[in-house]
Amino acid sequence: MPYSEKPEYCRKYRLVFPCPPCCGFVSATGPTGPQGPAGDTGVTGPTGPQGPAGDTGVTGPTGPQGPAGDTGVTGPTGPQGPAGDTGATGPTGPQGPAGDTGATGPTGPQGPAGDTGATGPTGPQGPAGNTGATGPTGLQGPVGNTGATGPTGAQGPGGVVPPSSFASYFNYAMIFADGAQIPLSVITEDPTGQIALANGTQITLKPGYYLVSYHVSVYLRSAGFMQVTPSYNGAPHLELGIYSRTSEASTVGGSNTIVISVPSDTNFTLTYNSNAMSVEGAATVSVVKLQA
C-alpha cells in the first residue's frame, strides 16, 4: 500500500497521518489515542531564501491626494547658469499712452553760429519807444590840451582891506582859586571892538573865526596838579585845555594855541582847577580875528 494511503504513527510529531518517506519515524499505526496538550512553540527557524518575484498585479485605482506637507527650509541659491541664447525679437506691440513730461534738462552748450542769411528789405519805421532810464555816468575822459592864454583884462579898482581885530590880556602874581575863572587885565585893546574884556574874566567875541593862544603857570605849595579849561559857545572844552603836575612844591604850567569858530556872540574864559594851594600864578591870552 502506498504511504499516502496507509495511516501510520509518526513518532517525531506524534500524529497519525500519512507520513512521507523522508520522515524516518514511521511506526505501525495503532489506535488513535486522546489528543494530548499542545506542546511549547519551538524556536523559529532561519528564513529561507526569497523565491522568485511573482507576476505584477493589476494597478489599483489612484487614492485621494493626501494633505500638503510643511514647506521645507529654502536651500541656498545655486550658482547662476550661463546666459541662454537671445530669443527672436517678438512683434512690436501697440504704442502705449504718452507719459508725463519729464523735468527740463540743463541747457546744452551753444552750437556754432550758422551762416549769415541775406539781408531782408528794410521794414517801415515803428513808433518811437519810451525813453530808457539814464545810464551811469561814464569815466571822465583825458584832460584836453591847455588853450592859448587870453589877453589880460583891465585892472579893477583897488579893494578895501578891512581893519584887523586883535587883542591881548595878562595876569601876574595872583593867587588862583580852585574852580574859579582866571582874572585878566588888558595889554592891547581891539580897535574894532570885535574883541573886548567884559568883567575882568570873560573875553567877548563877535561872530567869526579866531586864533587864540594862551599860557598859564602857577607855583604850587605842595605836590599836585594844575588843569586849565577854556570855555566858549556855551560849553567847556577839556580837550583843548592844558594839564601839568608836580611831585613836590614847584612851578607848573603849559601853553596852547587853537582856532575856534564863533557863530554868534560868545564869552571866552579860562577856568583853573588844582588840588594844591597856589602861591602865585601868571597868565597871558592873545586873540586875533581871522579874515574868512
Taken as a whole, the chain contains a residue count of 292
Q: What is the pLDDT of residues 40-53, one digit of tens each?
A: 888 888 888 888 88
The answer to whether 220 and 250 have CB atoms below 8 angstroms apart is yes
From the number of C-beta atoms within 10 Å of its C-beta (0-12, 13-18, 19+), residue 26 rates as middle
Which pLDDT value is given to residue 175? 93
Which residues touch 101 (CB under 8 Å, ≥6 apart)? none
Integer Cα distance of 95 and 205 in angstroms:
104
Q: Give residue 161's pLDDT band: very low, low, confident or very high (50, 70, 90).
A: low
Integer Cα distance of 254 and 227 in angstroms:
9
Which pLDDT value is given to residue 25? 46
Q: Give residue 3's pLDDT band: very low, low, confident or very high (50, 70, 90).
A: very low
Which pLDDT value is given to residue 5? 46
Which pLDDT value is given to residue 160? 61
The answer to whether 217 and 253 have CB atoms below 8 angstroms apart is yes
> Is 60 exceeded by the pLDDT of residue 189?
yes
Integer Cα distance of 214 and 232 in angstroms:
14
With pLDDT > 70 as the criterion, what percentage of the chain qualifies? 87
Q: What mean pLDDT is predicted for residues 11-15?
A: 53
Integer Cα distance of 209 and 211 in angstroms:
7
Residue type, 179: G
Lowest mean pLDDT among 91-95, 155-159, 192-196, 236-240: 155-159
Q: What mean pLDDT is predicted for residues 156-170?
A: 80
* Pairing label, strands 195-197, 203-205: antiparallel
What is the Cα gyration radius of the chain?
74
Name beta bridge partners: 232: 235
